[in-house]
Chains A and B, each alone.
Chain A
Amino acid sequence: MQGSTVDTSQTAMAVSQHAEASGHGDHPDHRIFGVYVFLLAESMIFLGLFAAYLTFRAVADVWPPQGTPELELLLPTANTIILVSSSFVMNRGNQAIRQNDVAGMRKWFAITALMGAVFLLGQGYEYFTNEFSLTDNLFTSTFYVLTGFHGLHVTFGLGLIAVVLLRSLKSGRYTNESHFGPEAAELYWHFVDIVWIVLFTILYLF
């Protein structure tokens, strides 16, 4: 009699633990793996665009084409520092949620979003004050398309952070056990960051 009680309770425990481990249905959560695979594909778009830019540059006799004004460096450098440090700020947010500190996560994520917004504003200001436009020559076209495409990604990243912040208002939505949303948003943000470092190097510095 006693033996069978133990059996039933153990099975029930096993079943409930099994159910807990699952995101949906009843298999373990593979979404973070999926995010990595998605970022692999994303990075290939940027790689293709960078390769196009570098080829244009390698083939041209004079680069940038004659009559292209010098690029202002001060603002983009400041912008780079802001974006790169925002990655570290965001990481603090994820450390917080790993310790079940939702308020801490919210704080760090909000600061990250603020820094991202400052970056975008700086980029907008640069667009506004630049002395060249999209169709002037091959350099200006690639400049706007590359930075613009990256800016779109920053905007999307801000959207992800906003979603996480909104969802975190519901208590128990994110815990130290279950925090796919913040983790995925952070991965995406790091990705956008790394792309910017490459972009900044080949477009502004090198």
Chain B
Amino acid sequence: MTTTTPLEPNPTPPNGEPEHNERHWKDFFGFSTDHKVIAIQYFVTSFVFYLIAGAMATSIRIELATPNPDFLGYENYNGVLTLHGTMMIFLWIVPAGAAFANYLIPLQIGAKDMAFPVLNGIAFWLVPPGGLLLLTSLLIDNPPVAGWTSYPPLSLISGQVGEMMWILSVLLLGTSSILGGINFVTTIFKMRIEEMSIYDMPLFCWAMLATSLLILVSTPVLAGALILLSFDLIAGTAFFNPTGGGDPIVYQHMFWFYSHPAVYIMILPVFGLISEVIPVHARKPIFGYKAIAYSSIAIAFLGNIVWAHHMFTSGTPGWLRVFFMAATMVIAVPTGIKVFSWVATMWGGKLRLNSAMLFAVGFVSMFLVGGLSGVMVASVPFDIHVHDTYFIVAHFHYVLFGGSVFGIYAGIYHWFPKMVGRMLNEFWGKVHFVLTFVGFNLAFFPMHILGLQGMPRRVVQYDPELTSLNQLCTVGSIILAISTVPFLINAVWAWFWGPEASANPWNALTLEWQTSSPPIIENFEEEPVLWSGPYDYGIDREPKDEQSVSELLAEVKAEL
């Protein structure tokens, strides 16, 4: 058999060591298409905005240490409050979720990069301009003061220039989020290595699939609302302005059609992170893989049909209230499934109580408190009582700080060795956890009581009888502010001088731990092999020596 082949002999030997370039530090400061570089860019950017918005939170608490306006004053309070909320949501938690998604999805499914790397870079580079626009809006003469909800008619009559900057900024950040969502969905569906079925996928990818679907379905509606709002602001139409025949309630519906799902956009990625961290450090298979995976999808679906529970006091008719109350309470079921599964995973495991695990356990307990107060405010009569009080402030801080931020920290402690190639200091990690946990509960738990006693949210001046509880909150918030210091020092120090991390310091099974730390450009030397399920901890694959029945019985009897 003679084959004459016109083809050149294979120029690159398929089994040879592929050459890869080193990352240069300058890559992190420019337009990059590498998902790992983009992820780090997201992390650092969102953390900087977190520190700024956190400083705003602390100044709000310092203002509220006394019942009278004496620190920020009437003029600045509303602007700072508006920016604190907007930045924490759109510039910290949402992009931090995108950061983890960018870093982990391609690695966990064995891909070299995202499906659309250039689009990915563009999505990131919409964030800094959006953030800077938002920050400058606070410095001009009339900053946005209508809160992060920007309800008309208030947003139409106060601080119009600032309001317009606020709208533009949110549109930019929303676009970034949508472009990211397109990338995540395509990558998860299309880029998995061949032997990985959708049920072999790590739970973080399931969570990001649900998150991305939510982003794609809900964010555009917010864009629609903001387009109409800007026509009201600039062109003098009256979509939401009752003096011109418009209907402000329509804005509320459109706003919450995004902003309620936004809660899940902020918490679902963290659910995913926790589902990764807990089994690794409990050394046990995850309890109920499919239940956790499907409950993410269920939450995404239900999250889209409950928005009007934010509007029980907006003249919503009774029959509609009942529907939204029932639908909201139903969400407690898939969420409860997750919480039970995490607890069952830890039950009887060999827990490694390191910083990552401590934050994960802290997440489960704090999120539980936020979830329980969530069921309380879902019920119409109770909600009418506490609507727009500090009870609501306490509730959503337990969800977004006790939930999302604790989970993000757990994720950072867990994946820092992978991302940077160096280990964080455990002692200072634990100090960070204790300070965060104590400060957080001190700052936000008393707010439940304040709310029940009738303290309205978004006020600079309050009843002097409530001073002592408010001061407790202020002390807590200062502890929280201090708690970031050990973390920052630890992270920066470890980044340059920390002990080097091995490829798999936690003995984890998902694919990102099968490559070096930090992973090489394009992630894997050769296509990774799926040699076990993502959470098969403590399962012995080698068949044990056969034990005779009598030996087995003897063993059981001995235990009795």
Contact = CB atoms under 8 A, between A and B. Distances in A.
* Chain A CB within 10 A, most for which of B7, B14, B113: B7
B126 to A, nearest CB: 15
Contacts of A30: 115-116, 186, 190-191
Contact of A135 (B8, B112, B220, B235): B235
Interface stretch (B46-54, B156-164, B250-258): B250-258
A142 B232 CA distance: 11
B237 A44 contact: no
Given A45-B223, A52-B224, A55-B253, A37 B182 contact: yes
Interface residues of B, number: 51
B124 to A, nearest CB: 17
Interface string A46-58: 1111011001100
Nearest to B119: A34
Contact of A134 (B182, B217, B235): B235
Contacts of A5: 3, 5
Interface string B200-236: 0000000000000000111111011101100100011
Question: Chain A binding site: helix, strand, loop or mixed by DSSP?
Answer: helix
Contact of B113 (A11, A25, A47): A25
Contact of A8 (B10, B216, B235): B10
B237 A141 contact: yes
A59 interface: yes
Interface stretch (A12-20, A99-107, A160-168): A12-20
* Chain B CB within 10 A, most for which of A41, A45, A49, A56: A41
Contacts of A27: 111-112, 115, 191
Contacts of A203: none
A135 B183 CA distance: 39
B264 to A, nearest CB: 16
B190 A33 contact: yes
B318 interface: no
Interface in A129-160: 134-135, 137-138, 141-142, 145, 149
B186 A34 contact: yes
Contacts of A45: 220-221, 223-224
Interface string B109-143: 00111011101000000000000000000000000
Given A15-B14, A30-B186, A33-B189, A41 B239 contact: no
A165 to B, nearest CB: 23
Nearest to A50: B224
A123 B191 CA distance: 43
Given A37-B216, A49-B228, A138 B238 contact: yes
A172 interface: no
A46 B228 CA distance: 12
Contacts, number: 128
Contacts of A31: 116
B185 interface: yes
B216 to A, nearest CB: 5
A28 B235 CA distance: 47
Nearest to A27: B191
Contacts of A59: 247
B498 interface: no
B454 interface: no
Contacts of A49: 224, 227-228
Contact of A9 (B5, B116, B231, B236): B5
A88 interface: no
A12 B224 contact: no
A65 interface: yes
B238 A145 contact: no
A73 interface: no
Contacts of A137: 238, 244-245
A48 B254 contact: yes
A2 interface: yes
A165 B119 CA distance: 23
A48 B225 contact: yes
Given A25-B113, A44-B221, A134-B237, A145 B14 contact: no
A44 B10 contact: no
B7 to A, nearest CB: 5
Contacts of A2: 1-3
Given A48-B223, A52-B228, 18 more contacts: A5-B5, A6-B3, A8-B9, A11-B10, A12-B5, A13-B7, A15-B12, A30-B186, A34-B115, A34-B186, A45-B220, A48-B221, A49-B227, A52-B239, A134-B235, A137-B238, A138-B245, A141-B231
15 contacts: A2-B2, A8-B9, A12-B10, A15-B10, A25-B112, A26-B112, A37-B216, A48-B225, A48-B257, A135-B238, A135-B244, A138-B244, A138-B245, A141-B237, A145-B237
Give the 6 A-B CB pairs with smallest separation, nearest first.
A48-B224, A48-B221, A44-B220, A9-B5, A45-B220, A141-B237
Interface of A: 2, 5-6, 8-9, 11-13, 15-16, 25-28, 30-31, 33-34, 37-38, 40-42, 44-49, 51-52, 55-56, 59, 65, 134-135, 137-138, 141-142, 145, 149
